[in-house]
Amino acid sequence: MFLSPDRDLSPGSPDLGGHTPAVPDRPGSPRHLGPTGSPTIPTGSPDRQPTRPSSPSRDSPSRSPDRGWYAPIVPDQHESLSNPRSVGSLSTDAKLSDRSSEPFPLPTPPAAPDASRSDIPAANESRERSAPAVGVTGFVPSVSADDVRLTMATISYLWDREDTFCSQADTIHALQQSYRDAVARGDRLQDELDSLYRSAAPFVSFVQLRYDWMQGRYVDAVHSLSDCHRALRTYRDQSEEIRRLRTLICANDEAQGNLERQVDALRAQLHSLQAELNSLRQQRDQLTMDKSFLHIDFLHLKEQLAQSQEEIADGLSSISDLIQQVDGLTPLEGQLALSQAENANLRRQLAEHLEIYDQLQVVEHDRDQAIAEHRALLDTLNSAILGSRSSALTARSTPKSATPAGSATCSHYPGIEIACP
């Protein structure tokens, strides 16, 4: 048990020993005095009837007044004989009036027998039956047996009550003496307890100082323990955070490795597409060169065709002129044969020019078809490149997926962007 600094350590305080000894008050204190100033003993209800001790002989003399009792009051013989109830009432009233100063009130005596009972005759009937004797000196009333029995019962009841009161007075005196002895013993115990308190005061002060010192050490230990718990809690939280960050870093490294592998695959695919694009570019250059050559040939052939058409027109005009001349000059058969030979020659040249024109049309058709195929191939290549770039951009969640600064495009065509390796 620790002693708190706020507890009272004075002698008699409940904080020193855990309890306060119940010490009765000294005799003469107000709470031990009754209404009349005499000491009282709380023995229960005042109406409780004490146990009746062995009653002494009825012939014993009355109690002496020095013990608080008085001789019974003997009523007048005439009144006792004429009215038997007055004996009990007078003696009871006298005893109650004389014992008003006792510590306990006396119990109320039982009521006198009712005069209306059939076995006890009424007082007026006894008076009617009793008549004064003529010639006899004095007045001697006649007494019935019922009146005598009633009177004797009343006197016996009063004697029993007096014996009970005497035994109760002895008991009260014994209790008062034991109470005074107990009060004196309580005073001695209180003095011993005060001396014990005074002798234990230095030890209590020393114990209180030790308790204060130990309480301070305990408070410091509690604060240190709380600091340790707080630091341990912080370290545990930091350890969990570090473990979570390590797990996240491992996941990010794994995701970065997957992305790098995807980037390598896309880069290899891009290299292959760039190789195909270079080959297609070479084919396009060759086709462009062939187209330029074919265009030059086509223009040359077109000029030749125009010249041939002009020559044909000139020949036709000359033929028509010759026909007219032949029609007009029938004798000129040699000139006609010459004209026919020239006409056949011109027809042959016209057929050759028409064949060359048909060849030029075929070459132009092949050129247009090659250009269309080349454009379709370029569109397919551009869509593949754009799809690969969009998939690479969506797959990359880090800034590494962006095009690095300083990179340039190797495409020479509008709408086609190819990053150089």
Is a pLDDT exceeding 90 seen at residue 398? no
DSSP state of 404: P
Residue with tokens 């002989």: 57
User: Three-state SS for 123?
Assistant: helix
Burial tier of 320 (Cβ tally within 10 Å: 0-12, 13-18, 19+): exposed
Q: In this structure, are residues 325 and 319 in contact, taking their beta carbons and an 8 Å threshold? A: no
pLDDT score recorded for residue 402: 44
Higher pLDDT, 106 or 367: 367
Question: Residue 68: which pLDDT band, with cuts at 50, 70 and 90?
Answer: very low
Q: Which residue has the higher pLDDT, 358 or 219?
A: 219
pLDDT of residue 321: 77
CA distances from 38 to 41, 69, 105, 276, 353 (A): 10, 16, 13, 135, 171
Kindly give, in sequence order, each residue whose CB lies less than 8 Å from that of residue 420, ignoring residues fewer than 6 positions away: 407, 408, 409, 410
Look-up of token digits 């020095």? 66
Confidence of residue 64 (pLDDT cuts 50, 70, 90): very low
Which has the minimum average pLDDT: 27-41, 224-238, 247-261, 269-283? 27-41
- Listed residue (377, 399, 410, 390) closest to 266, CA to CA: 390
Res 377: pLDDT: 83
The whole-angstrom separation of Cα 363 and Cα 354 is: 14
Query: In the predicted model, what is the mean pLDDT of residues 71-99?
Result: 40
pTM: 0.24
Most confident of 134-148, 191-205, 350-364: 191-205
C-alpha 102 chain-centroid distance: 69
Identify the pLDDT of residue 414: 44
Structure tokens at 213: 């010192």
Burial class (CB in 10 A: 0-12, 13-18, 19+), 154: buried
- Does residue 111 have a pLDDT over 50? no
pLDDT band of residue 376 (cuts 50, 70, 90) is: confident
Query: Is 374's pLDDT higher than 60?
Result: yes
Average pLDDT for residues 111-129, to the nearest whole number? 43
**Torsion region of 135: left, alpha or beta (phi above 0 gives left; psi -120 to 50 gives alpha):** left
Rounded to an integer, the average pLDDT of 117-140 is: 44
CA–CA gap between residue 61 and residue 276 (Å, rounded): 156
- Pick from 84, 71, 100: nearest CA to 162: 71
Phi, psi of 332 (to 5 degrees): -90, 75
Residue of 224 and 28 predicted with greater confidence: 224
- The two most distant CA atoms of the chain are separated, in Å, by 245
Give the number of C-alpha atoms closer than 13 A to the C-alpha of residue 8, restricted to the C-beta side.
7
Q: Taking residues 247-268, what's their average pLDDT?
A: 89
Helix axes 85-98, 145-328, angle to 10 degrees: 60
The separation between the first and the last C-alpha atoms of the chain, rounded to the nearest angstrom, is 86
Query: CA-CA distances (angstroms) from residue 11 to 185, 198, 224, 234?
Result: 19, 7, 37, 51
With cut-offs at 50, 70 and 90, classify the pLDDT of residue 218: very high
For the chain, give the percent of residues with pLDDT over 90. Answer: 9
Is the confidence at residue 264, as pLDDT, over 80?
yes
Structural element, H or E, at residue 408? none
pLDDT given at position 191: 92
Question: Quick one: which H or E segment has residue 118?
Answer: none
pLDDT higher than 90, residue 214: yes
Q: What is the 3-state secondary structure (H, E, C) of 177-221?
A: HHHHHHHHHHHHHHHHHHHHHHHHHHHHHHHHHHHHHHHHHHHHH
- pLDDT digits over 346-359, tens only? 888 888 888 888 88
**Is-contact 47 40, C-beta < 8 A?**
no
Dist. CA 336–CA 342, nearest whole Å: 10
pLDDT at 107: 43
CB within 8 A of 234, min separation 6: which ones? none
Cα–Cα distance for residue pair 245/352, rounded to 1 Å: 86
Over residues 274-278, the mean pLDDT reads 87
Q: What's the token pair of residue 170?
A: 């002895």
